């Protein structure tokens, strides 16, 4: 029997509920043994905590089985925690928010239902991962690319529902999720947008409908279970032109963002822009022992030596342009001219052309997982935790937040892995914390970092008066 039970539920009632689920969808799809539950714990969680423990997991294979699960969950009052694949490492993985929940694992619903080559749309189930979609497009020689994130082990739909960011022109992944099929808690199946019309050919082409749209109701929420969704893909470009620039000073980040913000808003640069500090590369190298024999933060005095060893600046900027060569060069020139007003440092240029082997890089639509190596920066039993405040793309706000983040990491004795992701009109200041899961003191200090940082932008609900 599970060491954890749903809140307010006796062991007898819980056993009865699981037997009902087994009878409905098969015993092999109802999991409770300790070995079976390992994937449903937070893969990078602090091992000293007992928070977020699942009581069991159920894994339906199709919509009919999912309806049975929801019907029985209502009947037995089982709390469910739906996950598409549960690979959102650093942000909770598959672990439930409330201990004692039953994880609703949609990983077996993994069909690629359709790819409309002419319109650049794939209709997917939630268990389809980035590697699955990439391999399908490659195998079928379909000239379309998917936007993929740095951790590509997760679900295409799940990542978009969590407002995940990827690379390329469709890097705002939530924005490229168009047309959902959703099962409501009572088992009713609905389709959003144009999908509400019987036989509509525009379900995954046009996100709106006549009257209010309710897609956002199912984004990062528990109001329903998304069973299918359309995902926009982009045509394989004729060329990919990449610009890279290493910036030597920690204080460069503010003016860099202010320079790029209007270019991003005018779509000179396509898709989200990622800027990372040197530790993003160093922490994935596995070479910590060259500079430190303990698990405290590497002293700032050693940073110049580390940057020199890796050939990095304090910040690394990487921009990518997609399309016809003439357009790429025109866009790149606008960026280079803007930066020439602030620095004489030249950009490094790389070009990929259609027909050449694609680099193993998410900027070229190829899924990867090696960035997860940062979790083992301090120990093979490592983990990482991410938190990313949202700010306007203004130099003062960014400089203040970077200083605040640096102080948080310094105070709790962690190496600072930082970055900035620039969207259409905002920035996320990315903070990634790597730790040893087996050290209670490090777990205590690690949990304190985002709590300290959360003071920078508290969120409160307030009533807004309606206009007369």
Tens digits of residue pLDDT in 406-460? 999 999 999 999 999 999 999 999 999 898 988 888 888 988 888 775 454 443 4
Gap between the Cα atoms of 284 and 368, Å rounded = 13
Task: For residue 418, list its beta bridge partners.
Answer: 431
What pLDDT does residue 289 have? Answer: 85
Question: What pLDDT score does 462 carry?
Answer: 42
In 266-406 the beta strands, taken as DSSP E runs, fall at 273-277, 315-323, 348-353, 382-387, 390-391
What is the Cα 161 distance to its own chain's centre? 9
- Phi/psi of residue 257, nearest 5 degrees: -65, -40
Percent of the chain as helix, strand, coil, to the nearest 5: 35, 20, 45
pLDDT digits (tens, 9 = 90+) for 102-144: 999 999 999 999 999 999 999 999 999 999 999 999 999 999 9
- The set of residues, in sequence order, having a beta carbon less than 8 Å from that of 79 and lying 6+ positions away, is 6, 7, 73, 96, 98, 100, 101, 102
Query: Where do the CATH 3.30.465.10 domains begin and end in the chain?
Result: 112-235
Q: What is the pLDDT of residue 370?
A: 79
Cα–Cα dist 22/18, whole Å: 6
Q: What is the mean pLDDT of residues 20-48?
A: 89
What is the average per-residue pLDDT within 7-31?
96
Which ranges in the chain are annotated with CATH 3.30.43.10? 11-105
Q: What angle do CA 334, 335, 341 make, to 5 degrees?
A: 95
Our CA angle for 244, 246, 251, nearest 5°, is 130
Q: Whole-angstrom Cα distance, residue 85 to residue 379? A: 25
**Residue 90's pLDDT is what?**
66
Question: Tokens for 53?
Answer: 């423990």
Tokens 């508290």 belong to which residue? 458
Looking at residue 356, its pLDDT comes to: 97
User: Which token pair is 468?
Assistant: 């007369």
**Beta strand pairing call for 80-83 and 102-105:** parallel
CATH of domain 112-235: 3.30.465.10
Q: What's the pLDDT score for residue 318?
A: 96
The alpha-helical segments, DSSP class H, found in 81-221 are 130-139, 156-161
Q: What is the CATH number of domain 11-105?
A: 3.30.43.10
pLDDT tens digit sequence for 271-327: 899 999 999 999 988 888 889 988 899 999 999 999 999 999 999 999 999 999 999
- 239-456 architecture in CATH? 3-Layer(aba) Sandwich (3.40)
- Three-class DSSP category at 230: strand
CATH 3.40.462.10 residue ranges for the chain: 239-456
């Amino acid at each position: 029997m599970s060491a954890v039970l749903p809140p307010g539920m006796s062991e007898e009632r819980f056993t009865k509920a699981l037997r009902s689920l087994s009878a409905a969808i098969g015993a092999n799809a109802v999991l409770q043994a300790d070995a079976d539950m390992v994937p449903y714990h937070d893969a990078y969680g602090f091992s000293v905590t007992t928070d977020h423990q699942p009581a069991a997991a159920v894994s339906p294979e199709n919509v009919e089985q999912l309806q049975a699960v929801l019907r029985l969950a209502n009947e037995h009052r089982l709390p469910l925690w739906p996950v598409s694949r549960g690979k959102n490492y650093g942000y909770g993985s598959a672990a439930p928010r409330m201990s004692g929940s039953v994880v609703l694992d949609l990983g077996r619903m993994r069909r690629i239902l359709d790819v409309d080559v002419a319109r650049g749309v794939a209709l997917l189930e939630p268990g389809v991962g980035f590697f699955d979609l990439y391999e399908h497009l490659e195998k079928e020689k379909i000239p379309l690319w998917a936007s993929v994130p740095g951790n590509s082990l997760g679900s295409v739909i799940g990542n978009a529902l969590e407002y995940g960011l990827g690379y390329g022109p469709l890097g705002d992944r939530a924005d490229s999720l168009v047309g959902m099929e959703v099962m409501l808690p009572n088992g009713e199946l609905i389709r959003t947008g144009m999908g509400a019309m019987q036989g509509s050919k525009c379900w995954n082409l046009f996100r709106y409908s006549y009257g209010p749209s309710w897609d956002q109701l199912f984004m990062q929420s528990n109001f329903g279970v998304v069973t299918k969704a359309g995902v926009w893909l982009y045509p394989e470009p004729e060329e990919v032109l990449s610009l890279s620039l290493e910036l030597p000073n920690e204080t460069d980040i503010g003016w860099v963002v202010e320079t790029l913000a209007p270019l991003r808003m005018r779509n000179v640069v396509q898709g989200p822009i990622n800027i990372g500090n040197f530790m993003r590369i160093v922490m994935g190298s596995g070479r910590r022992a060259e500079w430190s024999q303990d698990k405290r933060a590497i002293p700032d005095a050693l940073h110049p030596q580390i940057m020199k060893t890796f050939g990095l600046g304090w910040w690394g900027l990487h921009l990518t342009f997609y399309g016809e060569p003439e357009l790429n060069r025109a866009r790149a020139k606008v960026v280079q001219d803007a930066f020439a007003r602030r620095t004489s440092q030249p950009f490094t240029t790389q070009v990929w052309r259609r027909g050449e082997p694609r680099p193993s890089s998410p900027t070229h639509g190829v899924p990867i997982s090696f960035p997860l190596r940062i979790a083992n920066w301090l120990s093979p039993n490592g983990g990482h935790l991410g938190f990313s405040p949202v700010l306007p793309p203004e130099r003062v706000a960014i400089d203040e937040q970077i200083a605040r983040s640096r102080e948080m990491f310094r105070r709790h004795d962690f190496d600072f892995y930082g970055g900035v992701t620039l969207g259409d009109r905002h920035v996320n200041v990315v903070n990634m914390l790597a730790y040893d899961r087996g050290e209670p003191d490090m777990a205590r200090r690690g949990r304190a970092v985002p709590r300290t940082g959360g003071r920078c932008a508290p969120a409160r609900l307030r009533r807004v008066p309606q206009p007369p």
